[in-house]
Structure 1
Amino acid sequence: MSPIRARATSRFAGRRLSAGRLLLSLAAMVLIPAAVTAVAVVPGLPPAVAGASVDSRWFAGYYDVTLESGAQLADSPLGTSAGGAVLAFVVAADADDCTPTWGKAYSLDQAAQTFELDRRVERMRREGQPLAVSFGGAINTELAAACSSVTETTDAYRIVMDRYGIDVMDLDIEGEMLADDESTARRAEAVARLQEERRDDGGALDVWLTLPVAPQGLTAEGLAQVEQMLDAGVDLAGVNVMTMNYGTDGSVAPMSSLSIDALKATATQLSDIWHERTLALPAGGVWALLGATPMIGQNDVKGEVFTVDDARALNEFATAQGLARVSIWSLNRDQTCGSNYPHVSTVATSCSGIEQAGASFATVLEDGYTGTPSARPAAVTDADTIADDAETSPYPIWSSRSYYSAGVMVVWNGSVYVSKWWNEDAAKPDDPSLNTDASAWTYVGPVLTTDSPFALPTLPAGTYPDWSADALYDQGDIVQYEGTPYEARWWSQAKRPDRSVLDHDYSPWKLMTGS
């Protein structure tokens, strides 16, 4: 899965499933072409149905962190299902720099500053909402490939998991990473070490492998990823297969049918792997080790479309088999495209490309999936509220006497809020008598002990003329007020520039942040 999935090619490039081939695959699993070959499955009865216990089955869609911006804060909950969300994707800063980043677009610190990721994760933790972190994806460099040693790789993974206080790790391995034997071995050993560290500290680390799949099952390279993890001593929570991009013309069979075939074949393959290593399957059998992640709506292959009806069919199968996990790529895309987007057959990052008629893929697929990713109850963190203090707060303290434009952040009663529209003398951000729709404010998360105090940018005295209440200013004039630079947007006199920090709409000044 990729943060920007606009490629028109399949993971199984060059392969197409004809109607004749599909019939053969339904009768007995066959090999797909050698370009990317799936391992043949011996025909026979499918693994026994039992599956994960009902209360441990979980749904959590992938949430593409790299698409975030501060303006989205009021409209983008990280995840509303019982299973929370899978944050994607942590990758290396560069091919030879194993510093963890979000999609190479943001460092971990930049993500905290730009779209409040640390604060929003802490909010979910305090509210008992679980989260998982996904490493890898279809583009960029997975950490194990950029790091030069197992120790470096372990450290990189630990930095991320510890920073966000998360105990579920998802490893999305695809593309070139599948064939990289050195990084595969390094990754497995690093994950085994990290898992052992957590156990020694009295904690836990659940590890999921997310892999591409064909209707005939996992490829040889995918199976090798599973085997390497097990042989390194990793206790795998499960294998999540990407039920998408099969390389069909869209008319061979519904996407749900191809996905169900893929899950059945993978179940047999995993049963064999566990049997070969004399490893005990979970109490629910192999289905308790399996997950499925469809790409909702338009897939990367133009002819392939995963519809809401496909979602219902997949959910019915998953529920009957007791599939442990269901996800989607991605929560950001779970909506009908707007009328101004005419290219619906081209994959968009913020909509599905199909008419959903008000339905939500997440709602359909999470039906019956009420557990959490770790199968452990999400612990609600009860932390002390940090007192409001203008000297230490990360944003200005809210005041009924100030004007606030949409998108402005404030602090009130130990919490951070973002303004949804221009307002003045509105109700307090935490007014308990107002619901979310009626309030001018959206709760973002708590003030953190790690927050830096709010401060405006300053320049050396004399860089620009000091503002004067007596002077007349025209558009483009630049002044300093208490050391901070501002640029005039239109003619004004006696209008203090610092008012523009909170009121972007009506102040004749704008804060110069790039000086």
Structure 2
Amino acid sequence: MSARFPGRKLSVLRLALLSVVVGGLAVGGVTGFNRWEDARVAESTGAFFAGYVDVTATPSYEFEDPAATTGGSVVLSFIVASKSEPCAPSWGTFYGLDEAEAALDLDRRVARLVQDGGEVIVSFGGLLNDELATACTDPEDLKDAYAEVVDRYRLSTVDLDIEGENLADTAAGERRAEALAALQAERADSDTPLNVWLTLPVAPTGLTAEGTAAVAQFLDAGVDLAGVNVMTMDYGGSRPEGTSMLAASQNAADATHRQLQVLYERAGIEIGPQAAWRKIGLTPMIGQNDVKGEVFTLDDAKAFNAFAAERGVGRISMWSLNRDGTCSENYADVTVVSDACSGIDQEGLQFAPLLGDGFEGRAATLAEEPAVEETPEALVEDDPETSPYPIWSDVGTYREDDRVVWHGNVYTAKYWTQGDLPDDPVLQAEETPWTLLGPVLPDERPVPAVTAPAGLYPEWDAKTVYERGDRILVDGRVYEAKWWTQSDSPEAAEQGSDASPWQKIDDAAVLKAVEEKAGS
């Protein structure tokens, strides 16, 4: 999700008139927030729903309206660097903070939502403009810029939407992580500690390499991440042909969950599987996505909500609340994305209540839930007597498409490999030579092995010298010498070791040899 739909600025004349009326009220922020601080006490804890709102898009979305079905929490987007002052925060480059109050009455609207028990999160970044850390290179000025936004809107939670060029800028990533870590540390012991969410693009295979690097930067800098929110949308070529948007999004969530555990482990932080799910947010783009042909339906929303609840994710969002409605008849081509409607016939329904069903907690209190004690899952003991494929061995040599069993799962080799654990935790699928196919099924058994009759070849003898091409028998299995050998047991070849002087003859060759002997 991005500031894909650049909001339109209000006219200069209207801005000037509003500035005269309320400009003085905007300076220094809204001190009136203090009277509503008591209203921010969390009524419930747990996983939360918060839809994104494009603040600068027109028509303006009335997020402060208590009648709006938003779940009571919103993510206002996007704060970016001003085009004229790199370290000055702005709303989409269109409004400075004071200008947003004058033109959009933004501070008052935020205060109203808080007064009514809602929760406001502000998102920094997006796709189209420079996130503050990209433009502002002075560390202290950068921290002050983040703090200015946090203080102005009395935020307890911020969202860093990092994508595109902002995500590719490694130096900016380091500045961003260090600034947020410092700001978080300053407020750790205050009445309003700062929660930080990192929002990143995702593929059905999980976070990109740039995405995992961004998470690692935050963890290495000491940021206590509230979670990683993935944008389950705009997959393009990464979505396999025939895979639905729902399935692609579920796969993306599962892959991110695995990656997050690896990232925390590498950072030296203990985190269990369920705790990792609590640190995951899921954000689909409702209706027509930016990529033509990618449509996230109402049925997808309902199923995705059930999936998220079953997994135990900490957050559900959506892009965007502005778009949660059917396009008017005047909107000519619904396959072209609109910033004011979803592009599908919603039949009077809304995505927000479907996606947010049951996610009634608050971002500010999510981390306060008691930690669930998690016991490590016992590793499955693989039994060669019942395994449908050979048990993986560290001395075994495996070639493309070879199948093995390890800890109760079946894996297939993508290419030649030796010594690589099939379940070794990796961040990206290309880092492992193995593909997980799935668990060993309860009724699976080994494929019956073809054995040779006694006398077809001599039984192996440790004292005998064998030359290349000599064949022997061991328990009815046929082996052929690859080179001169004496006393080397053929059993290593059973595990596929290239170092063994023996190679096991496949079933077809054994049957052919038996037939030839029977016919002679």
| Common topology (TM > 0.5) | yes
Partner of 1:62: 52
Report Cα offsets for 1:307-333 as digits up to 9, x if no partner: 111111111100111111010000000
CA shift digits 1:364-397 (9 cap, x unpaired): 000110101122699xxxxxxxxxxxxxxxxxxx
Q: What is residue 259 of structure 2 aligned with on the other side?
A: 269
- 1:140 CA displacement: 0.5
CA distance, structure 1, for counterparts of residue 163 and residue 185 of structure 2 = 26
Q: What corresponds to 2:80 in structure 1?
A: 91
Q: Can you give the 5+ residue segments of structure 2 that lack an aligned partner in the other structure?
A: 7-43, 369-520
Contact 2:78 2:123 in 1 (8 A): yes
Residues 273-295 of structure 1: CA deviation (Å, up to 9, x unaligned): 11122213279321011011000
Secondary structure of the 1:262 match is helix
Aligned residue in 1 for 2:305: 315
Following the alignment from structure 2 to structure 1, what is the Cα–Cα distance between the partners of residues 232 and 276? 18
The 5 Å alignment of 1:427-466 reads none
- Residue in structure 1 matched with residue 184 of structure 2 by the alignment: 195
**CA separation of 1:77/1:55 partners in 2, compared to 1, >3 Å: closer, same or farther?**
closer
SS of the residue aligned with 2:274? Answer: coil
Is 1:355 aligned to residue 345 of structure 2?
Answer: yes
List 4+ stretches of structure 1 deviating above 4 A: 72-80, 248-251
Give the superposed CA RMSD.
2.4
Q: 1:165 and 1:74 mapped to 2: Cα distance?
A: 17
Equivalent residues of 1:58, 1:83 under 8 A apart: no
- In the TM superposition, what are the counterparts of 1:26-425 in structure 2 within 5 Å? 55-68=45-58, 80-94=69-83, 97-248=86-237, 252-281=242-271, 284-375=274-365
Give, in whole Å, the separation in 2 of the partners of 1:308 and 1:184. 36
SS in 2 for 1:258: helix
Encode CA deviations 1:58-117: one digit per residue, 9 max, x unaligned.
Answer: 0000011011567x6599669644451000000001286221000011111111111211
Contact 1:214/1:246 (<8 A) preserved: yes
Q: Distance in 1 between matches of 2:223 and 2:367?
A: 23
Q: CA deviation at 1:259?
A: 0.2
For 1:190, what is the secondary structure of its paired residue?
helix
SS in 1 for 2:188: helix
Do the aligned residues in 2 keep the contact of 1:61 with 1:79 (CA within 8 Å)? no
C-alpha distance in 1 between matches for 2:63 and 2:190: 37
Confirm whether residue 3 of structure 1 aligns to residue 3 of structure 2: yes
The CA distance in 2 between the partners of 1:272 and 1:2, in whole Å, is: 27
1:459-498 matches, within 5 Å, as none
CA contact 2:261–2:276 (8 Å) conserved in 1 = yes
1:40 corresponds to which residue?
none
Percent identity of paired positions between Structure 1 and Structure 2: 50
Instruction: Report which stretch shifted further, 243-252 or 311-320.
Output: 243-252
Instruction: Give 3-state SS (helix, strand or coil) of 2:110's partner.
Output: helix
Displacement of 1:198 in angstroms is: 0.9
Q: Per-residue displacement from partner, 1:122-173 (whole Å, max 9, x unpaired)?
A: 1122222111000000110000011121111100000001000011010000
- Equivalent pair of 2:133/2:142 in contact (CA under 8 Å): yes
SS at match of 1:125: helix
User: Which piece of structure 1 moves more, 77-86 or 125-134?
Assistant: 77-86
Three-state SS of the structure 1 residue aligned to 2:363 is coil
SS in 1 for 2:309: helix
Q: Give the drift of 1:245.
A: 0.5
Corresponding residue number in structure 2 for 1:434: none
Q: 1:139 to 1:77 in 2, by over 3 A?
A: farther
The offset of 1:3, in angstroms, is: 2.7
The alignment partner of 1:370 has SS state of coil
Residues 250 and 303, structure 1, Cα contact 8 Å, conserved in 2: no
User: Residues 436-488 of structure 1, C-alpha deviation per residue, up to 9 Å, x if partnerless?
Assistant: xxxxxxxxxxxxxxxxxxxxxxxxxxxxxxxxxxxxxxxxxxxxxxxxxxxxx
| Equivalences, count | 330
Within 1, Cα distance between the matches of 2:109 and 2:258?
A: 40
| CA spacing shift, 1:291–1:78, aligned 2, 3 Å | farther
Change (3 A) 1:65 1:214: same
